[in-house]
Amino acid sequence: MVHKDKVCIENIHVDTVIGVYEFEQKAPQLLLIDLELTSDFSAAFLSDNLEDALDYDDITQQVRAFCKNSRYALLEALAGGIIRLIFERPSTTISKVAVRIRKPEALKQAIPAIWCERTRGKM
């Protein structure tokens, strides 16, 4: 049986340089990132040990550092980079990653966002 347990990490605040326009490449912009990570928590149910679970603080810090050091034009490309980063984590049991990225200061009367979801086999 395949278990589909999930960790959700919401509203990761990141300041990063991103955008297709020249003015966007001059200063960092705020992004809000949500992650949904599918895994199997059966071992953690029994052990109550962090080594058998997903360390969401470590994942959050890795995503923040990755974004801070990246230079993408598109939110979609950044989302793909985040998904690859998470799947490349050593000894990860994550089978699916979903990422939502919002750019709250990009428009005056709306907040643009993207949602990308990939399984390990599709990445």
Q: Which residues are catalytically annotated?
A: 103
Q: Is 32 exposed, middle or buried (0-12, 13-18, 19+ CB in 10 A)?
A: middle
